[in-house]
Amino acid sequence: ILRSATDPAALAREVAARKSFSVEVIADAAPTSWSLDAPRIEQVLENLIDNAHQADPEGTVQVRVETRAGALMLAVLDRGAG
């Protein structure tokens, strides 16, 4: 595993910017740097965002980036059924 200091909000925004549908990144409480394997996290976000869009093609996918209890949290939310 190759971890390096990465801005997780910037990573989420980069993935969101590549999408042809609406993705909102909420990162008000995001850390400016976190040690993570950026390519793997990027792939996970790609897949989760695409899945969320499939669940609700007309809606906006939300990506929340924050810390909770000392851990980095990346949440992908949609309003699809299920």
This prediction has a pTM of: 0.93
pLDDT value, residue 29:
93
Rounded CA separation 16/56 (Å): 16
Per-residue pLDDT of 36-80, as tens digits, reads 999 999 999 999 999 999 999 999 999 999 999 999 999 999 998
Q: Is the pLDDT of residue 3 over 80?
A: yes
pLDDT value, residue 81:
79
The whole-number average pLDDT for the span 13-19 is 98
Q: Is the pLDDT of residue 24 over 80?
A: yes
> CA distances (Å), 56 to each of 15, 39, 40, 46, 77, in order?
18, 26, 25, 16, 10
pLDDT value, residue 25:
98
